[in-house]
Structure 1
Amino acid sequence: MFICLLYFSTTHAQKKRPIKEAVPLDSIRLSDPAILADKKTNMYYMTGTGGLLWKSKDLKLWSGPYEIAQTNPNSWMGQNPMIWAAEFHQFKNKYYYFATFTNRDKIIDTVAGNKIERRASHILVSDNAQGPYLPMKDDIYLPVNKPTLDGTFWVDKNGKPYMIYCYEWLQNGNGTIEKIELKPDLSGSIGEGKLLFKASDSPWSREKDAKGNDKPNKVTDGPYLFKTGSGRLGMIWTSWIYDVYTQGVAYSKSGTLDGPWIQEKDPITPPNFGHGMLFQTFDGKWLMSVHSHKKVEGKTVRIPKFFEIDLSGDKLVVLKPYLP
């Protein structure tokens, strides 16, 4: 594995943040919260949009935020890329940081008068859960001329690693979820992306068109894969029911990434929760991490929350909010 060691810049280093201690989860403002339960350190690590890290021993009180994501300013990302929807994944004795990077100074397309910025899912690497996470080769995992986001990780039955990601609706008008094979050390991609399903395949997400007619929502957001106790392959993902952020689930009929993916009729979380991921606590309990939206002093903030889930059967079942 070749790791670029020169010309790193720590994202948002211009504004050094003070480290806070003993912060309750519901006091943290964070979109797309993703958890790594790291058995090597017996700590929980949380990241998400912003490229920062929080850590906790009990999921109740957290310290942070720590700067952990470093990028190459000479790469396509530019000097100070935006970071969205970051996730930790441990694989072959390394820790990988899947995240969406946006270079706002590069415009790749204009659709319906909207300028589309250079945005793509990408992967950083570290020897430690707490980072720092550094670039590998300056590979381009996904097409330059397509805005992609919310990349996540899966190793299929064939043992091959894949990135699963969204091709953004801003360009294609009907967001998709796709897969692309990764190199064995995750330092780049192999071949081209393949469609798994479209936003319009959802029976539960809705929006109004320009004439006020009801239709499927165009947004695909936050895919995350899992297996049930029966071995069934599933994927949670998020869209909208009009103005309400909502999470649903699909299951692969073949048991592989190629599907076909059958969408469940109804959402699986309460209204206003989404962009979920799943993790197991050190005592074996399965939890879902999501965020909700709330207006505070006229601004929308996003708050992380955990739900207890049951994976023992043939389907993922959301049980109740988790209170550590």
Structure 2
Amino acid sequence: MNSFRQKLIQLFTATILILFFSFGVHAQRNITVRKNIPLDSIRLSDPYILADQKSNSYYMTGTGGMIWKSKDLKSWEGPYRVTKTDPESWMGHRPMIWAAELHAYKGKYYYFATFTNTNVKIDTVAGNIIDRRASHVLVSDQPEGPYLPMADPTYLPADKPTLDGTFWVDKDGKPYMVYCYEWLQNLNGTIEKIELKPDLSGSLGEGKLLFKASDSPWSREKDKDGNDVPNKVTDGPFLFNTGSGRLGMLWTSWIYDKYVQGVAYSESGTLDGPWIQEKEPITPLNFGHGMIFTTFENKTLMSVHSHRSENGRYIRVPHLFEVDLTGDKLVVVGPYKP
């Protein structure tokens, strides 16, 4: 790993730990809920927005285990803590929560998220000590929670760091989790799928490779000799269908020190692919980890976060882009202001 990437990881880990312990530990007892907050005034990584038809409300979550609520995407209220994990589970007492998503499915609401127990170490690779981290699913009867554990204590192997799990029902009618197997251990991040039980309460079988970070024609980094090579990172998968019925996947990586999002399309129209990567990314530099939703006015939007570093601290802000899915490919129309 080059020195810049090593430094970037250290900065990210330090920032997350500072935010977690200063906000997560102390503020969880006394969270200050704010009202009438503009979207661009919220600090949130990996924003995911559920447009809930039953309540006619938008629910936004992401990294941190909180939810924000809005009626119009313009004015937001929150944050609300919505998760109740089992302290006796592998997650421990206060797990970090990354990249949470909300999915309505068969009358219930499911919380797909990455949980990290920093007190448990599973491996050391290339000098990096790897925490116990995995994608997992919680459930609730209401979009605002509380989201609680289900039957299975684990969904993915305990000896592998996995993250950014998302949800998809494939053409076989079966539910799947699509997730990243983290590059910190395999040194070439992958995106994989695993079948879920019909009620999403656990997983079935083993994960299957969909594609690798090195398959990307647009991501880049420098190797130890200073040569350009594909970036190692796979981040934030999200599945969608175009108007023509084509299956696509958003995912994020890096171009040197710039965070950016690309897209791949499945030739078979199923998760099994093969996945063909678009040659160029679809967002401006330093925007990524996107998802797509439809507003109550039937407008198709993509939620992403912007990314910058100030004095060694990451600043990430939710943003919306209008997109066009009516044709054969996703087309980013431009920034959307609620």
Q: TM-score, normalising length from structure 2?
A: 0.91
2:136 is matched with 122
**Which of residues 153, 168, 171 is equivalent to 2:167?**
153
Partners of 2:312 and 2:120 lie apart in 1 by 31
* Cα shift readout 1:71-121 (whole Å, capped 9, x = no counterpart): 000000000000000000000000000000000000001111211100000
Contact in 1 for aligned 2:236/2:290 (Cα 8 Å): yes
Partner Cα separation in structure 2 for residue 62 and residue 107 of structure 1: 37
Corresponding letter in the other structure for 2:256: Y
2:109 to 87, 95, 100: 95
Aligned counterpart in structure 2 of residue 292 of structure 1, from 298, 301, 306: 306
For the residue of structure 2 that corresponds to 1:302, the secondary structure is: strand
Aligned equivalents of 1:141, 1:305: Cα separation in 2: 31
Task: Determine the structure 2 residue equivalent to 1:17.
Answer: 31
1:187-225 CA-partner distances (Å, limit 9, x unpaired): 000000000000000000000001111100000000000
Counterpart in 2 of 1:176? 190
Structure 1 gap segments, 5+ residues each = 1-9
Closer, same or farther: CA 246–97 of 1 in aligned 2, 3 Å: same
Alpha-carbon contact 1:11-1:51 (below 8 Å) kept: no
15, 32, 47: which one aligns with 1:33: 47
Letter in 1 for 2:59: Y
Equivalent residue of 2:253, what SS? strand
Name the CA distance, whole Å, in 1 between partners of 2:173 and 2:163: 24
Paired residue for 2:199, among 179, 185, 189? 185
Contact 1:13-1:67 at 8 Å conserved across structures: no
Q: Percent identity?
A: 74
Runs of 4+ with deviation above 6 angstroms: 10-13
Q: Note if 1:196 corresponds to 2:197.
A: no
Residue 297 of structure 1, CA deviation: 5.8
The match for 2:272 is 258
Tell me, what secondary structure is at the counterpart of 2:284? Answer: coil
Q: Secondary structure at the match of 1:70?
A: coil
How many angstroms does 1:139 deviate by? 2.4
Contact 2:28 2:81 in 1 (8 A): no
**Counterpart AA for 1:312:** T
Matches within 5 A, 1:1-324: 14-296=28-310, 299-324=313-338
For normalisation by structure 1, the TM-score amounts to 0.95
| Residues 1:208 and 1:15: Cα distance change in structure 2 (over 3 Å) | farther
User: How far apart, in 1, do the equivalents of 2:28 and 2:251 lie?
Assistant: 34
CA distance in 2, matches of 1:174, 1:295: 25
Contact residue 11 and residue 70 of structure 1 kept, 8 A: no
Report the CA distance between 1:11 and its aligned residue.
Answer: 7.9
Please report how far the alpha carbon of residue 294 of structure 1 lies from its aligned counterpart in structure 2 after TM superposition. 2.7
Shift of 1:17: 1.4
RMSD: 1.2
